[in-house]
Structure 1
Amino acid sequence: MTVAEPALSSAPVPPLAARARAIGGSPVRDILAVTARPEVVNFAGGLPAPELFDAEGVAAAYRAVLAEEPGRALQYATTEGEPALREALAARTRARGLPTGADDILVTTGSQQALSLLATALLEPGDTVLVEEPCYLAAIQVFGFAGARIVPVPGDADGLDPRALDELVARERPKLLYTVPTFQNPTGRTLPAARRAAVAAVAARRGLWIVEDDPYGELRFEGERVPWIASFPGAEDRTVLLGSFSKVMAPGLRLGWLRAPEGLRRACAVAKQAADLHTPTVNQLAAARYLADRDLDAHVARVAAAYRERRDAMLAGLPLALPEGSVWERPRGGMFLWATLPGGHDTTALLPAVVGHDVAYVPGAPFYAGAPDRSTLRLCFVTQTPDRIAEGLRRLRAGLREGARG
């Protein structure tokens, strides 16, 4: 006689952490998934132009490293980063006016990881973080995952307002200010030197960390370079400078770095040990070899010249592409152009009609930590040729008109 075993009851698994339930994905990446078709003129991405990568130079660096020191290149490495790369990064930083030694640098797996490490090292749930309005979307995600309360700092066409910052720091007692002061994502704005000095003074007077993210600063088309906030009086002992090879060499290397005061840098190194032990050794050694054998500045100059031509093509076509009464920024470098449509236009609601015409942008709303301006949008001009930009803007005009008719 066979006795049937009782059916097993299945209890639900424990839920996701509250922060994972509360923080959504990236709307930019969601849009890219929808617009991956080759016929789409995609102004939505934040990717550098792949045809401008120095693929031969990067490949030669990898070949040399793997031929000459394969055991080291394929082995574990120190958390802080390969000494040759840290020294090369420190030298580039010193050459741009900021005294820096190799020991001031922590190599990270992209500067996005640097943001995550800083959130781990600095933030307790409920701490207040100040950000620009609008702000780099992935920074909002990082601080949200850390449980921070995110408060926007108002600004204008020149970037954040130091007087508003001073008032917010006095009232909100934040832990840090996050800023992309040069060719900002999403607006393309650059904070003038006088405002940078004022931000440094506020941080010194009120007690505040500054996280200065600079992924686009070398992509300048015109005008003079503005010194980093970290170089202004009062900011020396409280500014973390983030850098990246993603926009000037190749994002697939996943190489970034942070320059920070010793105590915070050590805390970030411990957080990195828990996250991934170290950034891939072979990538670090290849980047160091590239910097030794090649002229990265000359390569960046070639990339910036191409990007300037593409920016100019977009600026030339915008007056006909956007509705009458629209306004937009004229970036002096970087990858993005920010536009505001006249009152009553909602760029999120308009996007499906625009995508129907095989062109795409990113609505501005997700970039706001506070109440969004739904009439805004971000256009990336670097991944399309001038002719393709002109065609994309013709499609954009048709899509916006169709969407406005409803």
Structure 2
Amino acid sequence: MSSESRLLEIPLERGSPIPLHEQMADYLGELLSAGVVPPGSKLPSERTLASFLGVSRGVISRAYERLKDLGLLEKRARSGVYAKASTGAHREPSTRGFVALADCTAEHIKPSPLESLPEGLSVKDLGSTWLESAGSPSFDELEASLKAELRSFLATRSLLASEGEITPVEGVQRGIFLTLWALGARRPSLWVEELTFPAVLEVARALRLRVKRLPMDEERMLEKLSLEAIPGEMVYLIPSIHNPTTRCISPRARSALLELARERELYLIEDDSFGELKFEGHVMPSLRGSSGGDPRVIYLGSFCQAITPGLKLGYVVCERGLAEEISKARLKLGGTGQNTVWAAAKKLLSTGAVDELLSRARRTLSAKLNLLLQALEERGLREKAKRLPLGGVGIFLEDLGIPGSVLSGRLARRGILVRPAKAFHVLGKDLDAIRLNFSSLSAQEIKRLAAELSMALKS
């Protein structure tokens, strides 16, 4: 996982009396001091980070300068900003595996100890080899061939789409941004659940969208939409393996959502980042696949680095007109994918290796979840997992007795990074809950996590 991937999820409280640059410097300082960002790692440029977080470059510049003064960063002429070795008093984490506990997107999964690509090839090597064998196709030719493979892959998931309705993007997070950018100019309101993917809120703020809250309970969600939703508004949902709670919306509620969206002319944006990581049985049917081709239902899917390092690919499936707008936005705003990554994805899809790698990832993640549940049981914490994940990489612990931000602070001092529920709440409400990511942990690390969590709750 790259330093940029870690740093793009900086939690900022816009209404806090603490200046944004100080919040950012404090957060990055913890990561740098704890060794989460290894010395020598290049940080995102001021322009990149400012654009992603929806803040001015001045905020980023002041934060970087503060960290430079503390000896945590260094600026290299004509090269950028890099992490320096920590000289602070923060204790180094005993294992880097715990870094992954702080990550909350499918794209950020650290694949170890899953095996890598067939024949031990890296994504870059595999992509380069395919490009050479294909006679170095143009970007348009490569995109067309990738769309064809994605179309076949999605059809096996009961999601029928033409190639003109599929847009490859650099991960689901990028797909969210481009979709909201393409739709938001004419539809300035976005409904999201009270707990949701933090990057969606940052994108909404950057695009100056009005964010409206939906209850987590599916019955109350449907009721609120039926009473208050205005025709043309957007609704962002994670119906399968919700981030952070791992909840799955019931089939009955899915049907009701689709019917309501048709009646009220709402745009449903379905984030299926974790859908492919369902542990048992078939993947859950997508809203778009069940909609009968409703042009207002938009699907965001992903291949993540859980199946192999470096394979960061997302795809947006929507009606052709919107797909063209998203493609134009992708070109206008920068980023048309790395040819080697797209070529590798095309190769893996065409050979069936993606399904093999996904199956392997599901088995490994399921085994790790069982180990974690057993470790929590031994510490008397099993009941804090109110909902057993059907898939994905994380687990949501609730009713902990102390605010999640307090608990996450205690754990950070022990070298363990977790995400408090506050980071996912639309209003930043500090719930007594946290989300743990277990994807990259060994059995020994899982046991240590449970022990440290138990001690942190008692301290």
2:405 partner letter:
T
Question: Aligned pair in 2 of structure 1 residues 142, 305: CA closer, same or farther (>3 Å)?
Answer: same
Contact persistence 1:355–1:399 (CA under 8 A): no
1:278 to 311, 332, 336: 336
- Which residue identity lines up with residue 116 of structure 2 in the other structure? D
Q: Is 1:350 aligned to residue 415 of structure 2? A: no
Give distance in 1, aligned partners of 2:379 and 2:287. 36
Q: Do the aligned residues in 1 keep the contact of 2:170 with 2:314 (CA within 8 Å)?
A: yes
The structure number with the bigger radius of gyration is 1
In structure 2, what residue type is equivalent to 1:281?
N
| Partners of 1:32 and 1:397 in 2: CA distance | 23
Higher mean C-alpha displacement, 317-326 vs 134-143: 317-326
Matched, 1:387 2:452: no
Paired position in structure 1 for 2:303? 245
- Kept after mapping to 1: 8 A contact 2:131/2:343: no
Quick one: which amino acid aligns to residue 104 of structure 1? E
Distance 1:310 1:286, change over 3 A: same
Check if 1:214 corresponds to 2:272.
Answer: yes
Deviation at 1:159, TM superposition (A): 8.9
Q: How does 1:181-192 map to 2 (within 5 A)?
A: 181-192=239-250
1:366 corresponds to: 423
CA shift, 1:165, in A, is 2.7
SS at match of 1:252: coil
Tell whether 2:395 aligns with 1:337. yes
Cα deviation digits, residues 148-170 of structure 1 (max 9, x gap): 111121023x6973223322315
Q: Structure 1 counterpart of 2:260, which letter? A: V
Select which of 44, 54, 60 maps to 2:116. 54
Is the deviation greater in 393-402 or in 249-258?
A: 249-258
CA distance in 2, matches of 1:174, 1:117: 18
Q: Which segment drifts farther, 244-253 or 352-361?
A: 244-253
Q: Classify the secondary structure of the residue corresponding to 1:360.
A: coil
How far apart, CA to CA, are the structure 1 residues paired with 2:443 and 2:151? Answer: 36
| 1:218 alignment partner AA | E
- CA deviation after TM superposition for structure 1 residue 67, in Å: 3.2
Per the alignment, residue 180 of structure 1 pairs with 238
Per-residue CA shift, 1:240-294, capped at 9, x if unaligned? 1111112454463432110111121111111111012622222212211122234
Pairing 1:266–2:324 present: yes
The 2-side partners of 1:31 and 1:312 are apart by 30
Contact 2:169 2:337 in 1 (8 A): yes
Distance in 2, matches of 1:384 and 1:274, equals 39
Say which SS state the counterpart of residue 394 (structure 1) adopts. helix
Partner of 1:64: 129
Report the 3-state secondary structure (helix = DSSP H, G, I; strand = E; otherwise coil) of the residue aligned with 2:275: coil
Would you say the 8 A contact 2:275–2:284 is kept in 1?
A: no
1:375 corresponding residue in structure 2: 432
Q: Output the amino acid matched with 1:54.
A: S
- Is 1:121 matched up with 2:178? no
Task: From the superposition, tell whether residues 361 and 246 of structure 1 become closer, same or farther in structure 2 (CA, over 3 Å).
Answer: same
Instruction: Using the TM superposition, give the Cα deviation of residue 224 of structure 1 relative to its aligned residue in structure 2, in angstroms.
Output: 4.7
1:67-106 deviations in Å (ceiling 9; x for gaps):
324643xx6x23x961111011011111111221212111
Query: 2:328 is matched by which residue type in structure 1?
Result: V
Structure-2 change in CA distance of 1:147 and 1:235 (3 Å): farther
1:39 aligns with 2:94: yes
The normalised TM-score by structure 2 is: 0.74
Question: Which residue of structure 2 lines up, in the alignment, with residue 306 of structure 1?
Answer: 364
From 143, 162, 169, give the equivalent of 2:222: 162
Q: Is contact 2:187-2:234 (8 Å) kept?
A: no
CA distance in 2, matches of 1:53, 1:159: 42
Deviates more, 1:267-276 or 1:21-30: 21-30
Letter in 1 for 2:222: P
Cα displacement string for residues 121-171 of structure 1 (whole angstroms, at most 9, x for unaligned residues) = 111399210012210111111111110111121023x6973223322315x
Q: Which amino acid aligns with 2:441?
A: Q
Q: CA deviation at 1:365?
A: 0.5
Q: Which has the higher contact order (CA 8 A, sep 6+)?
A: 1
Contact 1:245 1:251 in 2 (8 A): no
Letter in 1 for 2:410: A
Give 3-state SS (helix, strand or coil) of 1:257's partner: strand
Kindly state the Cα deviation for residue 58 of structure 1 after the two structures are TM-superposed: 4.3
Q: CA deviation at 1:39?
A: 1.3
Cα separation, 2, equivalents of 1:372 and 1:65: 49
Structure-1 separation of matches of 2:275 and 2:225: 23
Tell me the SS of whatever aligns to 2:372: helix
Contact 1:340–1:377 (Cα < 8 Å) also in 2: yes
* Contact in 1 for aligned 2:275/2:392 (Cα 8 Å): yes
Deviates more, 1:223-232 or 1:90-99: 223-232
CA–CA distance in structure 2, aligned partners of residues 136 and 330 of structure 1: 19
Q: Secondary structure at the match of 1:212?
A: strand
Deviation at 1:64, TM superposition (A): 2.2
Q: How far apart are the structure 1 equivalents of 2:226 and 2:235?
A: 11
Contact map agreement 1:201 1:234 (CA 8 A) in 2: no
Amino acid at match of 1:97: S
Structure 2 CA distance for partners of 1:92 and 1:25, relative to 1, 3 Å: farther
In 1, Cα distance between equivalents of 2:190 and 2:143: 32
Q: Normalised by the size of structure 1, how large is the TM-score? A: 0.83
How many residues align structurally? 375
Percent identity over the alignment is: 22
What code does the residue aligned with 1:350 have?
L
Q: Secondary structure at the match of 1:395?
A: helix
CA root-mean-square deviation = 3.0
